[in-house]
A and B are shown apart, each in its own frame.
Chain A
Amino acid sequence: MKMHVIKLLLLLPMLLAANMSVAGGKLLATPGVAQVEGSGGGGLVPWAQLAGYATEDEIALSTFCSQANVKDFQLNSCGGQVNFYDRLELSFAKQTFNVEPLSLTLSQNIMGAKVRIYGDLVYSSWPQLSAGIQHKSLASKEVPYSLGAARASGTDAYLAASKLHLGLLAGYNVLWNLTTRYSDANEMGLLGFGGPNSTPSLHTEGSVAILLNKHLAVGSEYRQKPDNLGLNESDWQDVFIAWFPNKYINITAAYLDLGAIAKVPDQTGWYLSISGSYSL
């Protein structure tokens, strides 16, 4: 009896492994990582790829937790995504933002939806194209209002194009993504939406990455931001390294340069994100 149990226990991981090798049709690393607002993407920028490894007749469930530590602020963001048939991504993220000089914590929830309109990151001749929205609602409203924000919730809309070029650079695969976002979010929404005399506007966000091998990508991102509150809100940038040991886990680390936040300058620091994914 005992022997049977042991045999069964030994067999179980093998069965799981055999079963798991089937699910998640996309190639390793190609879906990218979790974006800080919950969408599939790079760390800062939502990409045209949908989160997880699902292809046309699969569903992928993903979850993540990320932390950004810059000089005077800390951001935690945790959430998840469901990818339906590589066509529709629904996402959720809960962000908590610690303003260390004031011992203050702000938080917001973000619901996202993204639809793949055209193409395949790797195989179509034109870039993969997706459109998405991120609806954000702040739990802590007093601070944004006191700074002059018009609203405590808002919705960003974006269009993203991305392409992976096989062997482009001396045989290495190169990925780029370009996103244009219609938004009036202040510091991503953490300081509310709009301002005394502002209307939503278009902002450009871009990412580029090179795959050093099939498990490791390095790259950089840039994200333009509005300055509705007159607080010298800065554009954001990072350099990142992302590790994909398999299709179930990703770990991403980045060096961040977030410029000035609420007039506090030189907000540089580190970002760490871990995400898990499973396809059915």
Chain B
Amino acid sequence: MKYCLIFSLTLLISGCGLLPSGTSFKQAATAQTTTLQTTTTQKNSHQLYHSIGGDEGIERITDAFIKQIARDPDILPYFAKSSVSHFKQGFISHLCATVKGPCEYKGDSMIDIHTGMNINEKDFNRTVELLIAAMEEVGVSYRDQNKILKALAPLRSEIIHY
């Protein structure tokens, strides 16, 4: 709980500091971001969380993912009405929880988020490819990429065709 609070605070700061809250995905494509320095200490966390660089690594993946989305003409429209900082915050805490980091995802359920988007298999897979490209870009090892995808894969049924 305590970690979560600290983590949410750092996220809030990061959300404001790195990309202005009004930033759209399109603007994010060219935005320069700086790496957030976190001092949060983590104990008893999962190895994967540390292996991908902890909070900083997760933020780097998320920033790279946002830029990949912003550059993709097929996927970007799904984010037309999204705010980058809101997405970033949610994705960071979700990914952090997925890799068993010291945080808890308290955002909306995957079904709620994707309802009405009518995402098909092609666009889902394309987005997975963008995430892979983002992880490659920031130097996540192939084996860690697979572990992350494995942890995320069960969510597919809560994302497509809603």
Contacts and interface: CB of A to CB of B under 8 A. Distances in A.
Interface stretch (A128-136, A165-173, A201-209, A232-240): A165-173
Contact of A123 (B74, B129, B142, B153): B153
Contact of A172 (B120, B129, B143, B157): B143
Contact of B156 (A123, A171, A213): A123
A27 B125 contact: yes
B126 A25 contact: yes
B156 A170 contact: no
A41 B146 CA distance: 23
A167 to B, nearest CB: 4
A165 B153 CA distance: 10
Contacts of A86: 121
Interface string B126-141: 1011001000000001
A25 B125 contact: yes
B150 A27 contact: no
B133 to A, nearest CB: 10
A213 B142 contact: yes
B146 A166 contact: yes
B122 A171 contact: no
B107 to A, nearest CB: 22
Q: Is the interface of A mostly helix, strand, loop or mixed?
A: loop
B112 interface: no
A262 B17 CA distance: 75
A56 B122 CA distance: 8
Contact of A122 (B132, B144, B153): B153
Given A56-B121, A57-B120, A167-B147, A214 B126 contact: no
Contacts of B143: 167, 170-172
Nearest to B75: A22
Contacts of A22: 74, 122, 126
Given A18-B73, A122-B153, A166-B150, A171 B144 contact: yes
Contacts of B147: 166-167, 171
Contacts of B126: 22, 25
Nearest to B123: A25
Interface residues of B, number: 23
Q: Is the interface of B mostly helix, strand, loop or mixed?
A: helix
B150 A167 contact: yes
Contacts, number: 56
Interface string A147-176: 000000000000000000111001111000
Contacts of B149: 166-167
A58 interface: yes
Contacts of B141: 171
Interface in A169-208: 170-173
A184 B147 CA distance: 43
Contacts of A172: 142-143, 146
Contacts of B123: 25
Contacts of B74: 22
Interface string B31-64: 0000000000000000000000000000000000
A173 B146 contact: yes
A122 B121 CA distance: 12
A173 B132 CA distance: 14
Question: What are the 10 tightest A-B residue pairs by CB atom distance, in nearest-first order?
Answer: A171-B143, A25-B122, A167-B146, A166-B150, A55-B121, A25-B125, A167-B150, A167-B147, A55-B122, A123-B156
19 contacts: A22-B74, A25-B121, A25-B122, A25-B124, A26-B125, A55-B121, A55-B125, A57-B121, A58-B122, A86-B121, A123-B153, A166-B153, A167-B143, A167-B146, A167-B150, A171-B141, A172-B146, A173-B146, A214-B132
Given A55-B121, A55-B125, 17 more contacts: A22-B122, A25-B123, A25-B126, A26-B125, A27-B125, A57-B120, A58-B122, A122-B153, A123-B157, A166-B150, A167-B149, A167-B150, A170-B143, A171-B142, A171-B144, A171-B146, A213-B142
